[in-house]
Amino acid sequence: MNADRMLTPEEACDTVLAHIAPLGIERVSLLDATGRVLARDVLARRDNPPHDNSAMDGFAVRFADAQEATAEQPITLQVVEDIPAGTVPQKALEPGQASRIMTGAIVPEGADAIVPVEDTRSQGEQVAILDVEERGAHIRMRGEDMRGDEPVLEKGQVLGPGEISVLATLQQSFVTVYRRARVAIITTGDELVEIEDSVGPGQIVNGNTAALAAFCRAHGAEPLMLPIARDDMDDIRRTIETALDADFILSSGGVSVGDFDFVKQVLEEMQAKTIFWRVAMKPGKPLLFCTIGSTPYFGLPGNPVSSMMSFLQFVRPALHKAGGYPPAAWPLPRATALLDSTVENDGSRRNYMRCRLYYCNRSGALRASIFERQGSHMVSSMIGANGIALFAPEAQIKEGESVSVQIIGPIDQGEAPDA
């Protein structure tokens, strides 16, 4: 590949992914497994529930004994035992008998229905049945949730509270997951100061490191935030050498064509293999992707929105592939939305515009409200953005027409302008 050729976003993403391999696996405590990606299929060790049990407080009965019961003509049965949860029934039901049973308790042999307590009247050692729904009513059958030795969770699943509950039920105190990528974050520039420093004339606060670290955490990686590297080749080289202990390196700034953009020069001296350094997109055209040995290196633009946009389009898929996510989860989720206003892209590159996505209260349709401020330096334009609308070069999409969008946050409801 000619590294000087400007790639389409699809070509760039495919090229990045071709250079990414899944990381290793590790065993972690179940208590630390939330958000991790499962590295092996999980089989149920046993049936769940392990036995037929009651879903209600009430009485276990033989359906044949109680099926004709009504409130006007109840059927009276002899109560032969009480079965609290956590105990084992001692008696099988014979015709004309019932057992008082609590929720979760084992259903006794011979019983094939549970009558809720509100459909009964207790009469000492007897119970009057006022109604029974059907054979099997209110009985949780053995194995109806999980069958022993059958797959329950598949490799590649992200472990959320539901999956953690299943693993706990299966007594999996440790779980095998993909290792999280360690991502070194470098920000370069003499004009930058850290967030706790005072700001002098001509200086700006380094917000990119915090933003990229937040993105890394949100997408299952561990950020390693390095100090600002000044516009000095020796300082940049030392910082990059320190970062080589990580699985990925991200730098922000220093990759365009300015006289003081030294990152590319240092990487060339370090014998990095440049794959590409320009992408036909706005914002985010200057994007350097190279490898130093086997370590992927992303040289992101310095403008904050360009940096974040490049992360979402190219670094996120790489982290997801390395982290064991299934291929469908590598790119951002896509959808089609109706525009709230007419938008024109008069440039020669695809434009990625921040927007608010919402479901119209009246129609239920997904709609996109494009933010007025789209400058790549306007970090506040990311506030409230839960979508990115894609506009092809020299394209105009009118109000009410469909636009392709990427989803980057939760979607709520709202009123369309013409509602």
pLDDT tens digits for 144-193? Answer: 999 999 999 999 999 999 999 999 999 999 999 999 999 999 998 888 88
* Domain boundary residue, one of 113, 140, 167: 140
What is the predicted pLDDT for the residue at 69?
96
Judgement on whether residues 201 and 313 belong to the same structural domain of the protein: yes
Task: Give φ, ψ of 252 to 5 degrees.
Answer: -120, 120
* Domain boundary residue, one of 313, 329, 345: 329
Average pLDDT over residues 342-367: 95
How many other CB atoms sit within 10 Å of the CB of residue 189?
A: 20
Judgement on whether residues 383 and 303 belong to the same structural domain of the protein: no
Judgement on whether residues 354 and 290 belong to the same structural domain of the protein: no
Judgement on whether residues 283 and 355 belong to the same structural domain of the protein: no
Judgement on whether residues 228 and 319 belong to the same structural domain of the protein: yes
Q: If pLDDT is split at 50, 70 and 90, which confidence band does 259 have?
A: very low
Average pLDDT over residues 51-63: 98
In a domain, 419, yes or no: no
The single residue listed with the structure tokens 């350097």 is: 288
The number of folded domains in the chain is 4
What is the predicted pLDDT for the residue at 256?
66
- 340-352: b or e for each residue (b if 16 or more CB lie within 10 Å)? beebebeeebbbb
In a domain, 3, yes or no: no
Q: If pLDDT is split at 50, 70 and 90, which confidence band does 4 have?
A: confident
Judgement on whether residues 282 and 158 belong to the same structural domain of the protein: no
CATH number, domain with residue 70: 2.170.190.11
Judgement on whether residues 214 and 296 belong to the same structural domain of the protein: yes
In a domain, 4, yes or no: no
If you write DSSP's letter for every residue of 20-61 in order, what string do you get? -----EEEEEGGG-TT-BB-S-EE-SS-BSSS-EESSSEEEE
Cα separations in angstroms, 411 against 11, 365, 414, 415: 29, 12, 10, 13
Q: Which residue range forms the structural domain that includes residue 104?
A: 53-140
* Domain boundary residue, one of 273, 304, 329: 329
Judgement on whether residues 196 and 304 belong to the same structural domain of the protein: yes
Long-range contacts of 383-387 (CB under 8 A, 24+ apart): 384/356, 385/354, 385/355, 385/356, 385/409, 386/355, 386/356, 386/357, 386/410, 386/411, 387/337, 387/354, 387/355, 387/356, 387/357, 387/411
Q: Is the pLDDT of residue 123 over 90?
A: no
What does the block give as tokens for 216?
Answer: 């890394």
Q: Is 126 helix (H, G, I), strand (E, B) or coil?
A: strand
Judgement on whether residues 197 and 288 belong to the same structural domain of the protein: yes
Q: Is the pLDDT of residue 418 over 70?
A: no
Judgement on whether residues 218 and 315 belong to the same structural domain of the protein: yes
In a domain, 2, yes or no: no
Judgement on whether residues 197 and 289 belong to the same structural domain of the protein: yes
Measured CA to CA, the distance from residue 287 to residue 388 in angstroms comes to 19
Judgement on whether residues 381 and 319 belong to the same structural domain of the protein: no
Average pLDDT over residues 258-264: 68
